[in-house]
Copies of this chain bind each other. A is one copy, B any other.
Amino acid sequence: MTSQLRKDHISGRWVIIASERSKRPDDFRPAQPEKKDNPAGFCPFCSGNETKTPPEVFSLRKNGSGPDEPGWWVRVVPNKFPALTRGALPQRASQGLFESMEGIGVHEVIIETPEHDQEWSDLPLAHLRDVLWTYQQRIRSIETESQYQYIQVFKNKGKEAGASLSHPHSQIVATPIIPKRVKEEVWSSDRFFRKTKKCLFCRTLEQEITAKERLIRINSHFAVTAPFASRFPFEMRVLPLRHSPFFSKVSDAELLSLADNLKAVLTKFRNILSDPPFNVILHQGPHPVLARKTWPNVESLFHWHLEIIPVLTRLAGFEWGTGFYINPVPPELAASYLRE
């Protein structure tokens, strides 16, 4: 059987589903599990070491405990080595052909638990919901600083996925421009909406729920699917059943339902793939005020979602040159392994 080229209808990228190279979950088992950094040693994110991080900007903590003291269960601090730092919207500078601007923005770390080894699949549901609720609180707060056009929330788990500390944490970066990837998603959704008066993601959901073959789990408010044009083995997309462009508009009941789906699929994922490194990426609309100005229909046309990417394969020259990806595990097969 030859391979198949598939187009991702959201980004416009093509992937090669290479069935000739087809693999089972066991083929991705690491030779040895990843070593934790300094397991018995010092971790600035563990409870008791609060003074080793910049002062907290938000926390969920027991009554009676004070800022930067133990007693918290979720804690947000500025990144000690920020990629971007707060400031007024900078001018673009030109140097011949080259454009640049000062690196202004926000870079915060959400420490998800005081326990060094508690992954999302270990956390009680209510705790995982609190982590997601904290995302919302920080997004709402950063949105009041209107010079930041996009807020990116993401989680890197494991060294191979880019985490420099193993203590479970997520990050928030606010940027002064709308990233290219985000524009591409909104543009595709906009084109689709003009043609059909429907949301591209709502239509995708309908199709995936009917087809079933790429559906991994569905609960009261969310569906988890293996995308039709998955770039990577065991890639997942988490789509809210209720249409909304902004993560900050998700209700508390929905957050709990999201936690339920995340915990279930990540537990399965950890079991069949031996605790792989992964990234979780939030995709949402740009800053609401700006988004409404540029895309007056943004509320109708865009649909926030999460992407979960396991780090099991390597990007190579072909991917860098073409933007194509070669995926040795068809998403239909991945979904069958990940389904309960």
Collect the chain B residues with CB atoms within 8 Å of residue A176's CB. 5
Which of these, B97, B173, B281, contacts A204 with CB under 8 Å?
Answer: B97
Interface residues on A, range: 35 or more
CB <8 Å contact, B96 and A207: yes
Q: Assuming the A-B contacts A5-B100, A9-B97, are A16 and B315 also in contact, with contact meaning beta carbons closer than 8 angstroms in the complex? A: no
CB <8 Å contact, B16 and A84: yes
CB <8 Å contact, B7 and A99: yes
Q: Which residues of A contact B (CB under 8 A)?
A: 2-7, 9, 12-14, 16-18, 20-21, 81-85, 87, 96-104, 150, 152, 154-156, 159-163, 171, 173, 175-177, 179-182, 200, 203-204, 207, 211, 228-229, 279-283, 307, 309, 314-324, 326
Collect the chain B residues with CB atoms within 8 Å of residue A281's CB. 317, 320-321
Collect the chain B residues with CB atoms within 8 Å of residue A20's CB. 81-82
CB <8 Å contact, A97 and B321: no
Collect the chain B residues with CB atoms within 8 Å of residue A84's CB. 2-3, 16
Collect the chain B residues with CB atoms within 8 Å of residue A16's CB. 83-84, 103
Q: Which residue of B lies closest to A326 (CB)?
A: B83
CB <8 Å contact, A102 and B316: no
CB <8 Å contact, A103 and B318: no
A337→B283 CA distance, assembly (Å)? 38
Q: Which residue of B lies closest to A313 (CB)?
A: B162
Collect the chain B residues with CB atoms within 8 Å of residue A229's CB. 98
| Distance (whole angstroms) from the CB of A4 to the closest CB of chain B | 5
Q: Assuming the A-B contacts A2-B102, A2-B104, A98-B9, are A317 and B154 also in contact, with contact meaning beta carbons closer than 8 angstroms in the complex? A: yes
CB <8 Å contact, B83 and A175: no
| Distance (whole angstroms) from the CB of A223 to the closest CB of chain B | 15
A46→B300 CA distance, assembly (Å)? 59
Output the residue of A156, A180, A280 with the most chain B CB within 10 A: A180
CB <8 Å contact, B150 and A317: no
Could you list 14 A-B pairs, sorted by A, with CB under 8 Å? A2-B85, A2-B102, A3-B103, A9-B97, A14-B177, A14-B179, A20-B82, A98-B207, A163-B316, A171-B318, A175-B324, A179-B321, A180-B322, A315-B315
Collect the chain B residues with CB atoms within 8 Å of residue A163's CB. 316
Collect the chain B residues with CB atoms within 8 Å of residue A200's CB. 97
Collect the chain B residues with CB atoms within 8 Å of residue A81's CB. 18, 20-21
